[in-house]
Amino acid sequence: MRAMVYRGPYKLRVEEKDVPPIEHPNDAIVRVTTAAICGSDLHLYHGLMPDTRIGHTFGHEFIGVVEQVGPSVERLTVGDRVMVPFNIFCGSCWFCARGLYSNCHNVNPNATAVGAIYGYSHTTGGYDGGQAEYVRVPFADVGPTLIPDWMSDEDAVLLTDAVPTGYFGAQLGEIAEGDTVVVFGAGPVGLVAARSAWLMGAGRVIVIDHLEYRLEKARSFAQAETFNFTEYDDIVVEMKKQTDFLGADVAIEAVGAEADGSFLQHVTGTKLKLQGGSPIALNWAIDSVRKGGTIGVVGAYGPVPNAVKFGDALNKGLTLRMNQCPVKRQWPRLFEHVKSGNLRPSELVTHRFPLEEIAEGYHIFSAKLDGCIKPLVQPSAG
Ligand SMILES: NC(=O)c1ccc[n+]([C@@H]2O[C@H](COP(=O)([O-])OP(=O)(O)OC[C@H]3O[C@@H](n4cnc5c(N)ncnc54)[C@H](O)[C@@H]3O)[C@@H](O)[C@H]2O)c1
Ligand SMILES: [Zn+2]
Ligand SMILES: [Zn+2]
């Protein structure tokens, strides 16, 4: 089969690989019809994720057709069209029993620290991902779901990560009726978080980024007020001015380790890799919410970011909530929102690349060229 293969930071190729075999009775092999590139893939692409091995195939957002099933698989049959959550999870451990699918204890030798994710380095289990013609799906009776007839492929693929994660960010913010919600990051995750904030009763939604074309999308897709942080001496002071000098009720951090906005944090966090990323957007979130406010963090970090304003968060009595998104837990509600038109995920898609041109897709998405918000990838076997 053809598959995207990592060759080192900023280097990837499409190569010939063996079609993955069934390794366990509850595995399925899925022929990928559409995959996506996530902001999280950029952390891998930029060489920021520990234990990203040469030869690894990325891709944790994908849909496809069941090609083969192991002998114990009961809920899928060959030919089914399925959407696969980005988390690999067993469905029965202590954590899965509590809906903490992203924290499953059975799927990663490193499970005390992190669950398992397709195509996301050996830190999260070393499973090859779906930016390929075929992918092995463990626990096939647990993760995948049939794509409903009424759902488009582009909506379905976005429901495997970006949409549930944005929605989850808003859930973590514990939004109350009328709250002012400020979202950091106008990537696909932040845009969905902003749109979701309205669905959860927000009275005012503000989105902050520095890419004008994405802020434009925040206005059209999420009906948000927008602020370009490069236009203010201090975006936190501006947020205070905007909120009667109290601060927002809720902040959602949808930027993560590669945040711009602080030269020192950027150099030490993303260039020299002396810490687990630049926590500047997190610090802005801490400073922008009022005392007693809540922050939902979905931006991804390495284990140890430095100079996080933890003492300020404590003194302000903030609630910080965070996790990798337990995707499947979000699906019932999100299916309703997509069906009713409250959420239109496919409006985020700006680019579609054949798998053979995926290196170009990563480059354009990484460099934020050509108005790129969400790039999809189409393998030819699909
Ligand atoms: N927790 C999860 O389950 C989960 C799932 C998916 C993605 N993520 C993470 O969410 C984050 C966003 O993902 P995405 O796909 O939207 O990525 P993206 O790269 O498309 O978007 C990030 C946005 O943040 C903006 N930004 C940079 N610095 C900023 C700052 N200081 N303040 C405000 N905005 C700033 C960028 O310009 C960009 O528009 C990433 O860190 C990704 O790894 C987490
Ligand atoms: Zn992702
Ligand atoms: Zn589990």
Map tokens 């934020």 to a residue: 368
CA distance 210 to 263: 15
**Cα(137) to centroid of ligand 1, in Å?**
26
Confidence at 196, pLDDT banded by 50, 70, 90: very high
Q: What is the pLDDT of residues 88-135, one digit of tens each?
A: 999 999 999 999 999 999 999 999 999 999 999 999 999 999 999 999
Per-residue pLDDT at 137: 98
pLDDT at position 382 is 54
Pairing of the two strands 2-8 and 180-184:
unpaired
Cα 38 to ligand 2 centroid, rounded to whole Å: 5
CA 129 – ligand 3 centroid, Å:
19
Phi, psi of 252 (to 5 degrees): -120, 125
Q: How many CB atoms are closer than 10 A to CB 181? A: 29
Mean pLDDT of 368-375: 98
Q: Say whether 153 sits in a helix, a strand or coil.
A: helix
User: Strands 248-253 and 225-228: what pairing?
Assistant: unpaired
Residue 129's alpha-carbon distances to 91, 212, 300, 368, in angstroms, are 20, 32, 18, 23
pLDDT interval class at 270 (50, 70, 90): confident
Question: How far is the CA of 294 from the CAs of 118, 197, 220, 235, 315, in angstroms?
Answer: 30, 13, 26, 18, 13
pLDDT bin (cut points 50, 70, 90) of residue 77 is: very high
Q: Distance, CA 87 to ligand 3 centroid (Å)?
A: 10
Check residue 204 and give its pLDDT: 98
Ligand 1 contacts CB of residue 299 (under 6 A) = yes
Q: Is the CB of 301 under 6 A from ligand 1?
A: no
375 CB near ligand 1 (under 6 Å) = no
pLDDT attached to residue 62: 98
Does 310 have pLDDT greater than 60? yes
Q: What pLDDT is recorded for position 239?
A: 98
Q: pLDDT tens digit string along 24-74? A: 999 999 999 999 999 999 999 999 999 999 999 999 999 999 999 999 999
First to last CA, the chain: 11
Task: Tell me how far the alpha carbon of residue 223 is from its chain's centroid.
Answer: 21
Tell me, in angstroms, the distance from the centre of ligand 3 to residue 327's CA.
Answer: 13
> Mean pLDDT across the stretch 352-368?
98
**134 three-state secondary structure:** strand
The answer to whether residues 257 and 48 touch, using CB atoms and an 8 Å cutoff, is: yes
Instruction: For residue 371, report the distance from its CA to the centre of ligand 2, in Å.
Output: 20
CA of 200 to the centre of ligand 3 (A): 29
Judge if the beta carbon of residue 182 lies within 6 A of ligand 1: no
* Distance from residue 165's CA to the centre of ligand 1 (Å): 11
For ligand 1, is residue 239 a contact (CB within 6 Å)? no
Separation between Cα atoms, residue 54 and residue 66, nearest integer Å: 28
The rounded percent of the chain whose pLDDT value lies above 90 is 93
| Mean residue pLDDT across the chain | 97
Mutate to test the pocket of ligand 1, among 37, 40, 49, 288 (most ligand atoms within 8 A of CB): 40
* Spatial contact of 22 and 68, defined as CB atoms under 8 Å apart: yes
Q: What pLDDT is recorded for position 365?
A: 98
Residue 191: CB within 6 Å of ligand 1?
no
CB 232 less than 6 A from any atom of ligand 1: no
Which pLDDT does position 381 carry in this prediction? 66
Specify whether the CB–CB gap between 346 and 317 falls below 8 A: no
Give, in degrees to the nearest 5, the angle at Cα 30 between 27 and 32. 155
Nearest ligand atom owner, CA of 43: 1
Question: What pLDDT sits at residue 264?
Answer: 87
Determine which residue's CA is closest to atom 11 belonging to ligand 1.
299
Ligand 1 in contact with 270 (CB < 6 A)? no
**Would you say the CB of residue 217 lies under 6 angstroms from ligand 1?**
no
> How many CB atoms are located within 10 Å of the residue 315 CB?
10
Confidence of residue 305 (pLDDT cuts 50, 70, 90): confident
The two three-digit tokens of residue 374, written as one number: 């969400």
Using CA atoms of 277, 278, 284, 290 in order, give the dihedral in degrees to the nearest 10.
30
Ligand 1 center to residue 283 CA distance, Å? 15
Say how far apart CA 271 and CA 327 lie, in whole Å.
31
Q: Whose CA is nearest to atom 15 of ligand 1?
A: 39
Structural element, H or E, at residue 195: helix 188-199
Give dist(CA 239, CA 30) in Å, integer: 46
Give me the residues near ligand 2 (ion), CB cutoff below 5 Å. 38, 40, 161
Contact 206, 238 (CB under 8 A): no
Q: Which residue has the tokens 């909506």?
A: 155
117 lines ligand 1 (CB under 6 A): no
Distance between CA atoms of 84 and 60, rounded to whole angstroms?
Answer: 8
Percent of the chain residues past pLDDT 70, beyond the cut: 99
Q: Please provide residue 138's backbone torsions phi and psi, each rounded to the nearest 5 degrees.
A: -75, 160
> How many alpha carbons fall within 13 Å on the CB side of residue 318?
31
- In tens, the pLDDT along 213-242 reads 999 999 999 999 999 999 999 999 999 999
